[in-house]
Structure 1
Amino acid sequence: MNWCRLMDGQLVELKSQAFNTLLARMIAVKNTGKYWIGLTNMENERVFRWMTTKETVNPMDPRMSFFKPGQQLSGQPKHCVHTDEKGEWTVESCKAQFWFICQKNNRIKGSSKKVRTRL
Protein backbone atom coordinates (compact mmCIF):
# COMPACT_ATOMS: atom_id res chain seq x y z
CA MET A 1 0.00 0.00 0.00
CA ASN A 2 1.36 3.39 -0.99
CA TRP A 3 0.66 5.12 2.33
CA CYS A 4 2.64 2.52 4.25
CA ARG A 5 5.48 2.67 1.75
CA LEU A 6 5.67 6.44 2.23
CA MET A 7 6.40 5.71 5.90
CA ASP A 8 8.96 3.07 4.86
CA GLY A 9 6.64 0.32 6.10
CA GLN A 10 4.02 -2.16 4.87
CA LEU A 11 0.51 -3.27 5.71
CA VAL A 12 0.53 -5.18 8.98
CA GLU A 13 1.07 -8.96 8.95
CA LEU A 14 -0.79 -10.72 11.77
CA LYS A 15 1.16 -13.94 12.19
CA SER A 16 0.12 -14.98 15.70
CA GLN A 17 -3.02 -15.28 17.80
CA ALA A 18 -1.50 -12.93 20.38
CA PHE A 19 -0.77 -10.19 17.84
CA ASN A 20 -4.19 -10.61 16.20
CA THR A 21 -5.89 -10.30 19.62
CA LEU A 22 -3.82 -7.25 20.57
CA LEU A 23 -4.70 -5.50 17.33
CA ALA A 24 -8.40 -6.38 17.70
CA ARG A 25 -8.40 -4.78 21.15
CA MET A 26 -6.75 -1.65 19.77
CA ILE A 27 -9.38 -1.44 17.03
CA ALA A 28 -12.18 -1.96 19.57
CA VAL A 29 -10.87 0.92 21.70
CA LYS A 30 -10.74 3.23 18.68
CA ASN A 31 -14.21 2.01 17.58
CA THR A 32 -13.53 3.02 13.98
CA GLY A 33 -14.49 -0.10 12.04
CA LYS A 34 -12.51 -2.24 9.64
CA TYR A 35 -8.81 -2.09 8.77
CA TRP A 36 -6.88 -3.43 5.81
CA ILE A 37 -4.11 -5.89 6.64
CA GLY A 38 -1.34 -7.14 4.34
CA LEU A 39 -3.00 -10.39 3.26
CA THR A 40 -4.24 -11.09 -0.27
CA ASN A 41 -5.08 -13.86 -2.72
CA MET A 42 -4.51 -11.60 -5.73
CA GLU A 43 -1.86 -13.84 -7.35
CA ASN A 44 -3.79 -17.10 -6.91
CA GLU A 45 -7.41 -17.18 -5.76
CA ARG A 46 -6.85 -20.30 -3.65
CA VAL A 47 -3.67 -19.13 -1.93
CA PHE A 48 -3.54 -16.32 0.62
CA ARG A 49 -0.13 -14.65 1.03
CA TRP A 50 1.28 -11.85 3.11
CA MET A 51 2.13 -9.05 0.68
CA THR A 52 5.61 -8.33 2.02
CA THR A 53 7.04 -11.67 3.13
CA LYS A 54 5.03 -13.74 0.60
CA GLU A 55 4.41 -16.38 3.31
CA THR A 56 1.23 -18.38 2.74
CA VAL A 57 -1.69 -18.57 5.14
CA ASN A 58 -3.85 -21.68 5.27
CA PRO A 59 -7.46 -20.51 5.85
CA MET A 60 -8.23 -23.84 7.51
CA ASP A 61 -5.50 -23.52 10.18
CA PRO A 62 -7.15 -21.96 13.28
CA ARG A 63 -3.71 -21.20 14.79
CA MET A 64 -2.60 -18.93 11.95
CA SER A 65 -5.81 -17.89 10.20
CA PHE A 66 -8.59 -15.82 11.68
CA PHE A 67 -11.11 -15.64 8.84
CA LYS A 68 -14.69 -14.90 9.83
CA PRO A 69 -16.56 -18.23 9.99
CA GLY A 70 -18.75 -19.16 7.04
CA GLN A 71 -17.45 -16.74 4.46
CA GLN A 72 -16.66 -17.80 0.90
CA LEU A 73 -12.90 -17.45 0.35
CA SER A 74 -12.70 -18.07 -3.40
CA GLY A 75 -14.77 -17.83 -6.54
CA GLN A 76 -15.52 -14.14 -6.22
CA PRO A 77 -13.84 -10.87 -7.25
CA LYS A 78 -12.57 -10.15 -3.75
CA HIS A 79 -8.85 -10.39 -3.09
CA CYS A 80 -7.92 -8.13 -0.16
CA VAL A 81 -8.35 -8.86 3.55
CA HIS A 82 -9.43 -6.62 6.39
CA THR A 83 -9.78 -7.22 10.12
CA ASP A 84 -12.19 -5.83 12.72
CA GLU A 85 -12.63 -5.33 16.47
CA LYS A 86 -13.30 -9.06 16.92
CA GLY A 87 -10.05 -9.99 15.20
CA GLU A 88 -11.96 -11.65 12.39
CA TRP A 89 -10.60 -11.42 8.87
CA THR A 90 -12.87 -10.84 5.88
CA VAL A 91 -12.07 -11.00 2.16
CA GLU A 92 -13.30 -7.88 0.40
CA SER A 93 -12.99 -6.05 -2.89
CA CYS A 94 -9.72 -4.13 -2.96
CA LYS A 95 -11.71 -1.10 -4.09
CA ALA A 96 -13.58 -0.86 -0.78
CA GLN A 97 -12.54 1.95 1.52
CA PHE A 98 -11.37 1.03 5.01
CA TRP A 99 -8.79 2.26 7.45
CA PHE A 100 -5.40 0.56 7.28
CA ILE A 101 -2.64 -0.42 9.66
CA CYS A 102 1.01 -0.06 8.74
CA GLN A 103 3.89 -1.96 10.28
CA LYS A 104 7.45 -0.71 10.41
CA ASN A 105 10.25 -2.39 12.33
CA ASN A 106 7.66 -4.49 14.22
CA ARG A 107 5.77 -1.35 15.30
CA ILE A 108 2.28 -0.58 14.11
CA LYS A 109 0.60 2.66 13.13
CA GLY A 110 -3.02 3.19 12.10
CA SER A 111 -4.24 5.42 9.32
CA SER A 112 -5.72 8.84 9.66
CA LYS A 113 -8.18 8.31 6.81
CA LYS A 114 -9.94 5.60 4.89
CA VAL A 115 -8.38 4.50 1.62
CA ARG A 116 -8.69 1.83 -1.00
CA THR A 117 -5.88 -0.66 -1.17
CA ARG A 118 -3.43 -0.26 -4.01
CA LEU A 119 -1.44 -3.40 -4.63
Structure 2
Amino acid sequence: MAFLRVLLLLGFVSIGLCCPNGWLTHNNKCYHFSRETETWLGAAQMCTYMKGTLVEIETKDENDYLKAQASTLVHGDFWIALSDVEEENSWKWMISSTPAGSETFTDWNPGQPNNSGGQECAALHYNYNYAWNDDECKTNYHYICETTDSDNSQVIG
Protein backbone atom coordinates (compact mmCIF):
# COMPACT_ATOMS: atom_id res chain seq x y z
CA MET A 1 0.00 0.00 0.00
CA ALA A 2 2.86 2.38 0.78
CA PHE A 3 4.30 1.67 -2.68
CA LEU A 4 1.00 2.72 -4.33
CA ARG A 5 0.97 5.98 -2.31
CA VAL A 6 4.50 6.74 -3.53
CA LEU A 7 3.48 6.05 -7.15
CA LEU A 8 0.48 8.34 -6.80
CA LEU A 9 2.59 11.10 -5.25
CA LEU A 10 5.18 10.84 -8.01
CA GLY A 11 2.49 10.90 -10.68
CA PHE A 12 3.14 7.43 -12.09
CA VAL A 13 -0.44 6.30 -11.63
CA SER A 14 -3.12 8.37 -13.27
CA ILE A 15 -6.77 8.02 -12.38
CA GLY A 16 -9.06 9.92 -14.69
CA LEU A 17 -11.20 9.89 -17.77
CA CYS A 18 -10.19 7.34 -20.37
CA CYS A 19 -11.67 8.33 -23.69
CA PRO A 20 -12.77 5.80 -26.29
CA ASN A 21 -10.73 5.11 -29.39
CA GLY A 22 -10.91 8.07 -31.78
CA TRP A 23 -11.75 10.58 -29.01
CA LEU A 24 -9.38 13.11 -27.42
CA THR A 25 -9.26 14.03 -23.72
CA HIS A 26 -9.28 17.58 -22.39
CA ASN A 27 -10.30 18.72 -18.89
CA ASN A 28 -12.45 15.69 -18.00
CA LYS A 29 -14.26 15.57 -21.33
CA CYS A 30 -13.79 13.49 -24.44
CA TYR A 31 -14.04 15.06 -27.89
CA HIS A 32 -14.52 13.51 -31.30
CA PHE A 33 -13.61 15.57 -34.37
CA SER A 34 -15.34 14.05 -37.38
CA ARG A 35 -13.61 13.47 -40.67
CA GLU A 36 -16.98 13.08 -42.38
CA THR A 37 -19.47 15.91 -42.95
CA GLU A 38 -23.15 16.17 -42.07
CA THR A 39 -25.88 18.77 -41.87
CA TRP A 40 -26.25 20.32 -38.41
CA LEU A 41 -29.11 17.95 -37.55
CA GLY A 42 -27.20 14.99 -39.01
CA ALA A 43 -24.17 15.95 -36.92
CA ALA A 44 -26.30 16.05 -33.76
CA GLN A 45 -27.72 12.62 -34.62
CA MET A 46 -24.25 11.17 -35.26
CA CYS A 47 -23.04 12.44 -31.89
CA THR A 48 -26.04 10.85 -30.20
CA TYR A 49 -25.37 7.59 -32.03
CA MET A 50 -21.83 7.66 -30.63
CA LYS A 51 -23.26 8.23 -27.09
CA GLY A 52 -22.24 11.88 -27.01
CA THR A 53 -23.69 15.26 -27.91
CA LEU A 54 -22.76 18.01 -30.31
CA VAL A 55 -20.26 20.14 -28.39
CA GLU A 56 -21.35 23.04 -26.16
CA ILE A 57 -18.46 25.43 -25.59
CA GLU A 58 -18.49 26.76 -22.04
CA THR A 59 -15.13 28.50 -21.55
CA LYS A 60 -12.34 30.26 -23.41
CA ASP A 61 -10.00 27.41 -22.46
CA GLU A 62 -12.33 24.84 -24.04
CA ASN A 63 -12.81 27.03 -27.12
CA ASP A 64 -9.04 27.52 -27.52
CA TYR A 65 -8.48 23.76 -27.24
CA LEU A 66 -11.16 22.98 -29.85
CA LYS A 67 -9.81 25.62 -32.25
CA ALA A 68 -6.27 24.28 -31.91
CA GLN A 69 -7.37 20.69 -32.50
CA ALA A 70 -9.64 21.62 -35.43
CA SER A 71 -6.80 23.48 -37.14
CA THR A 72 -4.49 20.46 -36.98
CA LEU A 73 -6.93 17.62 -37.67
CA VAL A 74 -9.16 18.62 -40.57
CA HIS A 75 -9.17 21.88 -42.51
CA GLY A 76 -12.83 22.81 -42.65
CA ASP A 77 -15.77 24.09 -40.64
CA PHE A 78 -17.13 22.25 -37.58
CA TRP A 79 -20.71 22.30 -36.32
CA ILE A 80 -21.27 23.12 -32.63
CA ALA A 81 -24.54 22.81 -30.66
CA LEU A 82 -25.43 26.51 -30.89
CA SER A 83 -28.55 27.62 -32.76
CA ASP A 84 -31.32 30.21 -32.95
CA VAL A 85 -33.69 27.80 -34.70
CA GLU A 86 -36.27 28.00 -31.87
CA GLU A 87 -36.37 31.82 -31.77
CA GLU A 88 -34.71 34.14 -34.30
CA ASN A 89 -31.75 36.09 -32.85
CA SER A 90 -31.97 34.18 -29.58
CA TRP A 91 -28.87 31.97 -29.71
CA LYS A 92 -28.73 29.13 -27.23
CA TRP A 93 -26.99 25.85 -26.67
CA MET A 94 -29.41 23.18 -27.79
CA ILE A 95 -28.44 20.49 -25.25
CA SER A 96 -28.49 22.56 -22.05
CA SER A 97 -30.83 25.32 -23.34
CA THR A 98 -28.34 27.89 -21.98
CA PRO A 99 -28.53 31.22 -23.81
CA ALA A 100 -25.29 32.35 -25.47
CA GLY A 101 -24.66 35.97 -24.77
CA SER A 102 -23.45 38.51 -22.25
CA GLU A 103 -23.56 36.03 -19.34
CA THR A 104 -21.69 33.24 -21.12
CA PHE A 105 -18.54 32.83 -23.20
CA THR A 106 -18.86 33.48 -26.94
CA ASP A 107 -16.35 33.71 -29.78
CA TRP A 108 -18.35 35.12 -32.70
CA ASN A 109 -16.36 36.37 -35.65
CA PRO A 110 -16.85 40.17 -35.92
CA GLY A 111 -20.20 40.93 -37.56
CA GLN A 112 -21.61 37.51 -36.65
CA PRO A 113 -24.16 36.17 -36.18
CA ASN A 114 -25.72 38.04 -39.08
CA ASN A 115 -28.66 35.69 -39.78
CA SER A 116 -28.18 36.23 -43.51
CA GLY A 117 -30.49 34.06 -45.60
CA GLY A 118 -31.83 31.80 -42.87
CA GLN A 119 -28.57 31.07 -41.07
CA GLU A 120 -29.69 29.45 -37.81
CA CYS A 121 -26.84 27.12 -36.81
CA ALA A 122 -23.32 27.91 -35.61
CA ALA A 123 -19.97 26.46 -36.58
CA LEU A 124 -16.28 26.97 -35.93
CA HIS A 125 -15.41 28.56 -39.26
CA TYR A 126 -12.13 27.68 -40.95
CA ASN A 127 -11.90 30.97 -42.88
CA TYR A 128 -12.26 32.97 -39.63
CA ASN A 129 -9.51 31.14 -37.69
CA TYR A 130 -12.25 28.93 -36.20
CA ALA A 131 -14.20 31.81 -34.66
CA TRP A 132 -17.95 31.19 -34.57
CA ASN A 133 -20.10 31.91 -37.60
CA ASP A 134 -23.77 31.32 -38.30
CA ASP A 135 -24.70 29.32 -41.37
CA GLU A 136 -27.58 27.42 -42.93
CA CYS A 137 -28.24 24.24 -40.95
CA LYS A 138 -28.53 22.21 -44.17
CA THR A 139 -24.86 22.84 -45.04
CA ASN A 140 -22.55 19.83 -44.71
CA TYR A 141 -19.71 20.47 -42.25
CA HIS A 142 -17.49 18.41 -40.00
CA TYR A 143 -18.66 18.31 -36.38
CA ILE A 144 -17.35 17.99 -32.84
CA CYS A 145 -18.99 15.64 -30.36
CA GLU A 146 -18.34 15.61 -26.63
CA THR A 147 -18.96 13.19 -23.79
CA THR A 148 -17.85 12.49 -20.25
CA ASP A 149 -18.78 8.81 -20.67
CA SER A 150 -15.63 6.73 -20.96
CA ASP A 151 -17.65 3.63 -21.95
CA ASN A 152 -18.21 4.79 -25.54
CA SER A 153 -16.71 2.35 -27.94
CA GLN A 154 -17.86 3.20 -31.45
CA VAL A 155 -16.58 5.95 -33.75
CA ILE A 156 -18.41 6.37 -37.03
CA GLY A 157 -17.68 9.73 -38.70
Note if 1:41 corresponds to 2:41.
Answer: no
In structure 1, runs of 5+ residues without a counterpart are 114-119
Q: Could you tell me the TM-score, scaled by structure 2's length?
A: 0.61
- Take 1:72 and 1:55, find their aligned partners in 2: how far apart are those partners? 17
Note if 1:74 corresponds to 2:115.
Answer: yes
- Which AA in structure 2 matches 1:34? D
- Take 1:89 and 1:62, find their aligned partners in 2: how far apart are those partners? 17
- Take 2:141 and 2:59, find their aligned partners in 1: how far apart are those partners? 22
Q: How many residues align?
A: 108
Look up the match of 1:116.
none
- Take 1:52 and 1:70, find their aligned partners in 2: how far apart are those partners? 25
Q: Following TM superposition, by how much is the alpha carbon of 1:63 offset from its aligned partner in structure 2, in angstroms?
A: 6.3
Query: Which runs of 4 or more aligned residues in structure 1 lie more than 6 Å from their structure 2 counterparts after TM superposition?
Result: none
Q: Following TM superposition, by how much is the alpha carbon of 1:27 offset from its aligned partner in structure 2, in angstroms?
A: 0.8
Decide whether aligned partners of structure 1 residues 51 and 72 sit closer, same or farther in structure 2, where only a CA change above 3 A counts.
closer
- Which AA in structure 2 matches 1:70? G
- Take 2:52 and 2:88, find their aligned partners in 1: how far apart are those partners? 25
Look up the match of 2:106.
65
CA-based RMSD of the aligned residues comes to 2.3
The answer as to whether partners of 1:4 and 1:10 remain within 8 angstroms in 2 is: yes
In proportion to residue count, which structure has more helix?
A: 2
The answer to which structure, 1 or 2, has the higher relative contact order (CA under 8 A, 6+ apart) is 2
Higher Rg of the two aligned structures = 2
SS of corresponding position for 1:47? coil
Look up the match of 2:139.
96
SS of corresponding position for 1:15? coil
- Take 1:48 and 1:73, find their aligned partners in 2: how far apart are those partners? 12
- Take 2:109 and 2:143, find their aligned partners in 1: how far apart are those partners? 18
In proportion to residue count, which structure has more strand?
A: 1
Q: Could you tell me the TM-score, scaled by structure 1's length?
A: 0.80
